[in-house]
Chain A
Amino acid sequence: MKAPNTLMYQESHEWVKIDGNIATIGITDYAQDSLGDVVYVELPEVGDETTKDINFGTVESVKAASDLMSPVNGTVIEVNEAIDDEPESINEDPYTHWMIKVELKEAPDLSELLDADAYLRFCEENDA
């Protein structure tokens, strides 16, 4: 199970990378693996607001649909359209294939986010 050190994670299995006032968000390797073959991703539109802990979209595999939870408050400034055509790219590399970029409203509250080690421990406990 991969979880790069450069990213932050939440227990609902999204990763986030904060760069200045821009947050890039995707799903983790653990998430793609438990979902199985991803066949559809529903994402918001540019200009939509995201709210921390509220879903901003859906990722669907053959067997299940799963909500995408936003780790931050902000406004969507970019959506990765490529995964609309190739949802399976999420299975191939969930860290390259980000889902949305959000312009942050305020400095994000990172206190509830996990670093890579803590996230991997959380996944292990989840499986146990």
Chain B
Amino acid sequence: MKRTPLYSWHKTHAKSLVAFSGWDMPLEYAGIEKEHAHVREHVGMFDVSHMGEIRIEGTHAKKQLDQLFTNTLPKPGRVKYGMMLKADGTVLDDMLVYGLLDEAFMLVVNAGNTDKITAHMADFISPHDMKNVTTEYGLIALQGPKAEEIVQTYWEFSPIKRFQFIYVDYDDDSLLISRTGYTGEDGYEIYVPSYRLRDIWEDLIATDIIEPIGLGARDTLRFEACLPLYGHELTEQTQPPMAGLEFALDMSKSFTGKDALEIPPKSRKLFGIELLDKGIIREGDLIIDVVEPDRELDTPYKDEEDFEKAPQGYEFVGYVTTGYKLKSQGRSLAMAYVFGGELSEHALLIIRGKLKAFKTVDMPFINR
């Protein structure tokens, strides 16, 4: 199991740790609900050093990266969200790309996909032009309405807009600070030399208003903002438009997987849903609807067997990718893929063996 430089701090302060993509990470400190609310109202601090960083440099490498990345490559000082796709248009990973120099970039990929993306790029980019620098960096996210005030107090710098970054001096080191995040709040992500991570973390945490936030609340926050998580809303079975990520595709250029994309998506589409009966919708719960001979059912999410066990007159038409009941919402919500992208008024959820009524709702679940 891999550990960030803050492992022993988490071990002392977190209520529980969790294995996440091969890393020992904090799950919760004060409790998921409290941490969630603190980020929405004040500012929370996350250790997200498990994220993978890969540096890419050179004229040829830039050209290849441009072909692999779905979005426009960022200019220096800018950050772009996008994905790498397989030839069939399904998602290998979603990522941020930082424009370091005109021909130098830093990719920030999901921890569980770092090796996969490195291997994928190795087919196109020379090993001399590419380096996995994950362990060189510690990564702190400061998220919430007070994040701006905090970073400005610690490191005075001229204001940057969302998806921009700057460097600030920190003693003899340099920190990269971007106005990015994964909570639906304003916030910053701070890339620090890994050996300085603990100093900076302890320095910041001494500020009354900053509370540590674990991966539990990181997930409920991104869920409430309907930000996709790889392995859930994004997989090698789904294409970006199915998850509503058209904004991360630069259709004016060529990129791998582009020609295979269904635009608009037909075979499946992500919906926000709200439970009308009592209970909680969880990942893996299935949606059924009355049998519709013309409906094209995509590759079943679960075993074929599961899909044959729908109640008489019904067929399985979808599956839940993430679901929670949050105090901040007072309702049980979920994101779910629906095959064919349409539901009738007869559609039902199966939750722990019981049939439950639901309705579709707008995403995101919070307005920011």
Chain A residues engaging chain B, CB cutoff 8 angstroms: 34, 36-37, 39-40, 42, 58, 60, 62-63, 65, 84
Contacts and interface: CB of A to CB of B under 8 A. Distances in A.
Given A58-B352, A62-B220, A63-B216, A37 B280 contact: no
16 contacts: A36-B15, A37-B327, A39-B326, A40-B278, A40-B279, A40-B325, A58-B352, A60-B280, A62-B32, A62-B33, A62-B216, A62-B220, A62-B325, A62-B326, A63-B32, A65-B282
B28 interface: yes
Contacts of B327: 37, 39
A40 B28 contact: no
A112 B16 CA distance: 30
Contacts of A37: 31-33, 327
Nearest to B219: A63
Nearest to B15: A36
Given A37-B33, A65-B352, A42 B279 contact: yes
B32 A42 contact: no
Nearest to A91: B31
B137 to A, nearest CB: 28
B324 interface: yes
Contacts of A62: 32-33, 216, 220, 324-326
Interface residues of B, number: 19
A93 B166 CA distance: 49
A73 B321 CA distance: 37
Contacts of B332: 40
B278 A42 contact: yes
B358 to A, nearest CB: 15
Nearest to B18: A63
Prevailing SS type, chain B contact patch = mixed
Nearest to B215: A63
B280 A39 contact: yes
Q: Which 8 A-B residue pairings sit nearest by Cβ, starting from the closest?
A: A62-B32, A37-B33, A39-B325, A60-B280, A40-B280, A37-B31, A63-B216, A40-B325
Given A42-B352, A62-B326, A63-B216, 6 more contacts: A36-B15, A37-B31, A37-B327, A39-B280, A40-B279, A40-B280
Contacts of B27: 63
Contacts of B280: 39-40, 60, 65
Nearest to B324: A62
B66 to A, nearest CB: 40
B359 to A, nearest CB: 19
A66 to B, nearest CB: 11
A60 B325 contact: yes
Contacts of A39: 280, 325-327
B22 to A, nearest CB: 20
A62 B220 CA distance: 9
Nearest to A87: B325
A37 B216 CA distance: 12
Contacts of A34: 16
A37 B27 CA distance: 13
Among A34, A62, A63, A65: residue with most chain B CB under 10 A: A62
A36 B352 contact: no
B229 to A, nearest CB: 14
B159 to A, nearest CB: 35
A58 to B, nearest CB: 6
Interface in B1-60: 15-16, 27-28, 31-33
A60 B282 CA distance: 10
Nearest to A60: B280
Nearest to B282: A65
Contact of B32 (A36, A40, A58): A36
Interface string B297-321: 0000000000000000000000000
A39 B324 CA distance: 10
A60 B325 CA distance: 9
A63 B218 CA distance: 12
